[in-house]
Structure 1
Amino acid sequence: MFTGLVEEIGTLLEIIPQEGGEVQIEISGPLVASDAGLGDSISVDGVCLTVVDLPGEGRFTVEAVPETLTRTTLGRAATGTSVNLERALPAGARLGGHIVQGHVDGMGELLTRTDGGRWEDLTFSMPADLAYLVAEKGSMTVSGVSLTVTAVTENSFSVSLIPATLGATILGGLQIGDRVNLEVDVIARYVARLMEGKEVAE
C-alpha cells in the first residue's frame, strides 16, 4: 500500500531479460534503498514491484513479469530513464495522499501543459473504459503521484501541479506525447463493482 507521495526520483541503471519474458530492473534510489529488504514492495512510477536483490551503493533490483511490461510504461523503459519512487506505507504513518495500490489500470499520454505562473495545468488522455471511475475533485495516481482531478471528459482528465510536485517528481519534466501509468481511486473501483452486482441482482 502506498500514498502517492513520491520520496525521490530514481534512475533505471540496467534492464536484464530473464527466461520466460520477465525482466530484472536495477534502480538507483539511495533513500528508498537505504532500508529496503528482500521481498519489500516499492512503487516504481506507480507500479508495485518486489525487491529481489540489493547490490548496495544505493541500488536495488526488482522483477517485472510480462503482464506488467505489457500494461505499464516499464515495457518501453530504457536504461537512464528517471522514475518516481515510493516505499510502502508503514503502519501508523500519516496518509498524506490517498490509498494507492500500485496496480496500474492503464496508460495515458500527456496532451497539453499550460503554465499558470507558479503552477502548471496538465491534461492527459486515458482509456475510455476508465472515465466512469474518474471524478472532478477525486484522486488519480499518475506514474505513482497522487493528484486531484480538476476536470474530466470521456477520454481525458486534467490536474494542476504545484511547484513542489513539479520539482520532486518526473512530472515536471514530461513532454507532450510522453506516456504515464494511471491508477484510479480504489474506492471508485469497488463502488463500481458493487453497482454492477446490484444491477445483476435486480
Structure 2
Amino acid sequence: MFTGIIEEIGRLRRVQKQGQAMVLTVEAKTVLTDVKLGDSIAVNGVCLTVVAFDGSSFTVDVMPETYRKTTLKQLAAGSRVNLERAMPANGRFGGHLVQGHVDAMGRIVSRRQEENAVVFVVEPLQGGLMKYMLPNGSITIDGISLTLVNVSETTATVSIIPHTLAETVLQDKNPGDVVNLECDLLGKYVERLLLFRGSESSGPGSTPSAASTGGVTEDFLARHGFL
C-alpha cells in the first residue's frame, strides 16, 4: 500500500525486454536506504517487487499483464520515473490510499499555466473509469496522489502546485503523453459489493443474482434502501 507521495525521481539504467516481459533496473537513492529483497516499490504508480539491488540501483520484473496495462512498456534506458516505497505501518497518510494497481492509461489532453499552478486535463484510454471520479475526490497519476478539480463525461482535471511539479515526472509531461491512472479504491469496492447484494450466496466464489447483474442503477439503489 502506498500514499501517492513521491519520494524521489529515479532513472532507468537498463531495460531488458523479452516479448511482453521486462526487467527494469532503476537508479535511485532515497528508496534504497532500507531496501530488502521482496520489498514493494511503486514505479510511476505501478507496484513492483524488488528482485535485486546494489548501492545505487534496484531491479524489478514486469509481467505481461502489467506490460499491457501500463506505460512501463514505453520506458527506455535514461527514462525518469516516480518512485515511492510501500508505506510503513507507522507512516503518515500524506496523500490517499493507493494500491499501485493501475486501472488504465490516460492521455494528457492539455496543459496550461494558471498563476502558480499547472492544470492538466487527462482522458482515460479505457471506458468506464469516469464513474469512479468526482470533483474534490482523489486520483493517482503516475503514482502521484492528486485532487480532482473538475470532471466531465470523458476527462478529469487536476491542478498541480509548483512543489509537486518540481519533484515528479509530471514536469516532463505534455499534451499527447500517456500516463498511468489509478482511481480511488473506495468507489470500486462499494460498486463491487453492491453488485453482489441480494445474491443467493454471499460467500467466496458466489455469483450475482439475475436481479443484480444490471449493475448499480438509481432503481437498484432505491429498491435496496439507499435512496
Measured against the shorter chain, the TM-score band is over 0.9
- Structure-2 separation of matches of 1:175 and 1:113: 6
2 CA distance for matches of 1:152 and 1:31?
A: 35
**Match for residue 205 of structure 2?**
none
Q: Deviations over 1:94-128 (max 9, x none)?
A: 11100000000000011111101211111001133
Cα distance in 1, alignment partners of residues 127 and 148 from structure 2: 16
Whether the 8 Å contact between 2:20 and 2:67 is mirrored in structure 1 is: no
Rounded Cα–Cα distance in structure 2 between residues aligned with 1:113 and 1:33: 33
- Percent pairwise identity: 44
Name the SS of the counterpart of 1:3 in structure 2.
coil
Computed over aligned residues only, the root mean square deviation of the Cα atoms, in angstroms, reads 1.4
* Structure 1 contact 128–154 (Cα < 8 Å) conserved: no
Residue 48 of structure 1, CA deviation: 0.1
Name the TM-score, length of structure 1 as normaliser: 0.95
Which 10-residue stretch deviates more, 131-140 or 190-199? 190-199
Amino acid paired to 2:33: S
Residue 34 in structure 1 maps to residue 46 in structure 2: no
**CA distance, structure 1, for counterparts of residue 150 and residue 140 of structure 2:** 15
Distance 1:121 1:14 in 2: 32
Q: Distance in 2 between matches of 1:73 and 1:12?
A: 14
> Does the 8 A contact of 1:34 with 1:58 survive in 2?
no
Could you tell me the TM-score, scaled by structure 2's length?
0.85
Report what 2:160 is aligned to: 161
| Match for residue 100 of structure 2 among 99, 102, 105 | 102
Q: Which moved more, 1:117-126 or 1:38-47?
A: 117-126
**What is the alpha-carbon distance in structure 1 between the residues aligned to residue 69 and residue 25 of structure 2?**
20
Q: 1:85-100, aligned counterparts within 5 Å?
A: 85-100=83-98
The structural deviation recorded for 1:23 is: 1.5
Shift of 1:188: 1.1
Q: Secondary structure at the match of 1:101?
A: coil
Alignment of 1:5-44 (within 5 A): 5-17=5-17, 21-44=20-43
Deviation at 1:21, TM superposition (A): 4.1
The question of whether the paired residues in 2 share the 8 Å contact of 1:52 and 1:61 is answered with yes
Q: Which has the higher contact order (CA 8 A, sep 6+)?
A: 1
Kept after mapping to 2: 8 A contact 1:110/1:122: yes
